[in-house]
Amino acid sequence: MPSTIVPAHDLAQQGLATPAALHWNLLTGPLVELAVQRGEGLLSEHGALVVKTGKHTGRSANDKFIVRDAATDGSIWWDKNKSITPEQFAAIKADFETALKGKSDLFVQDLYGGSQPEYRVKVRVITEFAWHSLFIRTLLVRPELADLAAFVPEYTIIDLPSFKADPARHGCRSETVVAVDFEGKTILIGGTAYAGEMKKSVFSILNYLLPMQGVMPMHCSANIGPAGDTAIFFGLSGTGKTTLSADASRTLIGDDEHGWSDTAVFNFEGGCYAKMIRLSAEAEPEIYATTRRFGTVLENVVMDPTTRVIDLDDNSLAENSRGSYPIDFIPNASADNMGPVPRNIIMLTADAFGILPPIARLTPDQAMYHFLSGYTARVAGTEIGVTEPDATFSTCFGAPFMPRHPSVYGNLLKGRIAKGGVDVWLVNTGWTSGSATAGGHRMPIKATRALLNAALDGSLKAAEFRIDQNFGFAVPVSVPGVDPTILNPRDTWADKAAYDAQAQKLVGMFIANFAQFEAHVDAGVREAAPKAA
């Protein structure tokens, strides 16, 4: 099968020797054909490519390592990132190069990480699976075909699921390894077929590079309103980030990874990677429609091998079943993958303790505090006897992907908020009238959307506000179309003393978590902390 375009700067120019047939920059059709011919996947009744990733159905966070050398020793957040020596990485790379020489076919894609030309990075991705090549071509930004002949990669990712790492030789933990060499501009992924490792590797590259250029990298979704007003949505899994940012009245910039420069909010990617489990046509029609299109890849989605009918409710292969598709499969997606600098920032949390109000306005100092905290909470599993929700603090709403210290990203955010006069809102999509385990119920989606719309159209700024006695942020007293009782969580609890006790317990969790950042932030941010009684 012919390659599309082979650049002058090929693998030999990079010192990578292999007798494999190289499939360069293939487009969707040929990649799907090859994936099916090679037994990597099957087509569903509507034309999506359905694949399985084996034992790894999510990221292997404990198997990711960064080379610790003179360049990275003082710049990486080593409290949360694992290190290997340059010698250990060299051993992994040598064994990867040996593995490349044993392949009969390899697939190569030349792509961009980042949609704003001044800040994008050129990435070459070498894979042993055709479907991995399709995945990364879908997820990253695709160059014009005319630009591929002169493409010279800045970073190279090699993804070999068949590779088995040796902890004794390679300094890793298991047979699975994700090894990152920022100085050598190489990332090696072995022992896992989960495609998201490639996507998040590019995110890590940009999170490492962009802060030094004054650009804020963000784990967020983003959209644009009719008046050209960009909104950013931060939020961990289960907070409503995808649902609330997918608004038919607003243009989608992207669903997961963005940069904020002096002139734009720009998507790092050219595609989306959505959770598929229990997806419904009623709740998320635009995303559901992508499951019925040629060019979509469905990972670990159960399919009847005879009828080729998929079952999005079946989690027997994975709870983290995923779909990847080009962003233009979403009808209201931005053609430029970019928008103006933001007017509003939404920080989403699902507070299962039932303490936080449905919306609050944050000062720049409070915004940095809550950004570094990255709080949400869930019902702690389904075990018998569970009586308390489970609090999660993931700094910058994406700790696993942040190579540098969180204060680097927090200070960038605080500066950009202050400089641009951006409004920041904390939105709780969690529980009200009690905790998730003691009489509470989920925040009504109708109220959440009404409050969010008022924040985005600017009308909420004209409301009367009170100062929350526990967290110190401003909370609206009344908003048209919203029951005023719900705006004050304490009023929704039958037992006010129980609310006060639970509130102080949550305050204590925030304070204990933030202790790790106190030495890295200024007095204003420290004073933005919630107050213990």
How is residue 408 written in tokens? 């680097």
User: Can you name the residues that pair with 431 across neighbouring β-strands?
Assistant: 442
Give SS3 for 170: helix
Q: Which DSSP string do the residues of 47-64 spell out, in sequence order?
A: S-EEE--TT--S--GGGE
Known catalytic residue at 237 = yes
Question: What Cα–Cα distance (Å) separates residue 56 from each residue in 35, 36, 193, 424?
Answer: 19, 21, 7, 37
How is residue 367 written in tokens? 């915004």
Percentages of the chain per state (helix, strand, coil), in multiples of 5: 30, 25, 45
Known catalytic residue at 219 = yes
Residue in 124, 132, 137, 219 annotated catalytic? 219
User: Phi, psi (5° rounding) for residue 465?
Assistant: -120, 150
Known catalytic residue at 241 = yes
Known catalytic residue at 322 = yes
Q: Which of 422, 86, 419 is nearest to 262 (CA)?
A: 419
Residue in 255, 256, 365, 468 annotated catalytic? 256
Rounded to whole angstroms, the Cα distance separating 459 from 52 reads: 47
How is residue 214 written in tokens? 């004054």
Residue in 85, 237, 478, 485 annotated catalytic? 237
How is residue 411 written in tokens? 């200070």
Residue in 241, 370, 405, 414 annotated catalytic? 241
Rounded (5°) CA angle 44-46-51: 30
Residue in 132, 170, 200, 361 annotated catalytic? 200
Residue in 64, 68, 142, 322 annotated catalytic? 322
Known catalytic residue at 93 = no
First to last CA, the chain: 70
Q: Which of 425, 427, 433, 429 is nearest to 443 (CA)?
A: 429
Residue in 18, 53, 59, 365 annotated catalytic? 59
Rounded to whole angstroms, the Cα distance separating 248 from 232 reads: 16
Rounded to whole angstroms, the Cα distance separating 356 from 239 reads: 13
Per-residue burial over 398-433, b = 16 or more CB atoms within 10 Å of its CB, e = otherwise: bbebbbbbbbbbbbbbbebbeeeebbbbbbbbbbbb
Catalytic machinery residues: 59, 200, 219, 237, 241-242, 256, 322
